[in-house]
Amino acid sequence: MENGEAIDDVMVNFGVRTFEIAAKLAALGADTYNIIQVFFETKTKTFAALEKLAIESMRFYCDDRCAFICVMQDMYAKSGSDESEVDRLANIPSQIEGVLVGVTMRELKDGNFKASVRTHGDIDASAICGRLGGGGHMGAAGCTLTGTKQQAINALVKEIQAERIAHTLNELIDEQIEIIRERYDAAVHNRIQFAKAKREAKAAYIKVGNL
């Protein structure tokens, strides 16, 4: 597993046990400040240059709900960087306000493209990439795409739109189920109240008859 994917997997799947381990490490004297600085806050000059080029390549699709950045082979020469630093770019597109799907594509030496997809909410990154032969989990997934840069983008945008439609349909279905449930509960409540009123009326009638 690549470094960026490993970090994403930890960030998505951490739980109580993670915090317990972190607390024990801190109690044993782990230098948390330097750990955070080295792993999350320190950038090489070559990465900073590559990051700038990648951000300049950013394009938006699907009513600005999807952001793409694309790292081309010539960017390595321009920045002095290489493929080992690309993984740290994966979360940049999804950090943009209003973006639900962030995609980082990188051109491979054979001319194909590797895509890293990050999603928010209930949009399933693994479903998007799975239909393109890749995989991952709900919030982070990846796949490899053939063809030109634009063909790769078009293929991903198509699957992202399909996932958004499926997501919208699921929301509508959930809303309708909730409406039906509420109406059913109301009908049951009214039936119970009617039965109660009927029993009370019958009891009152019998009482009057016994006077």
Q: In the predicted model, is pLDDT for residue 64 greater than 60?
A: yes
The residue among 57 and 29 whose pLDDT is bigger is 57
The residue among 85 and 202 whose pLDDT is bigger is 85
The Cα 204–Cα 199 span in angstroms is 9
Structure tokens at 139: 């919030």
- Would you say 50 and 76 are in contact if contact means Cβ atoms under 8 Å apart? yes
| Sign of the CA dihedral with 32 first, then 35, 41, and 42 last | positive
* Model pLDDT, residue 39: 72
Confidence category of residue 172, pLDDT binned at 50, 70, 90: low
The pLDDT tens digits for 22-42 are 888 888 888 877 877 777 778
- Output the pTM of the full model: 0.66
Show Cβ contacts of residue 95 under 8 Å, excluding neighbours closer than 6 positions. 102
* Model pLDDT, residue 2: 45
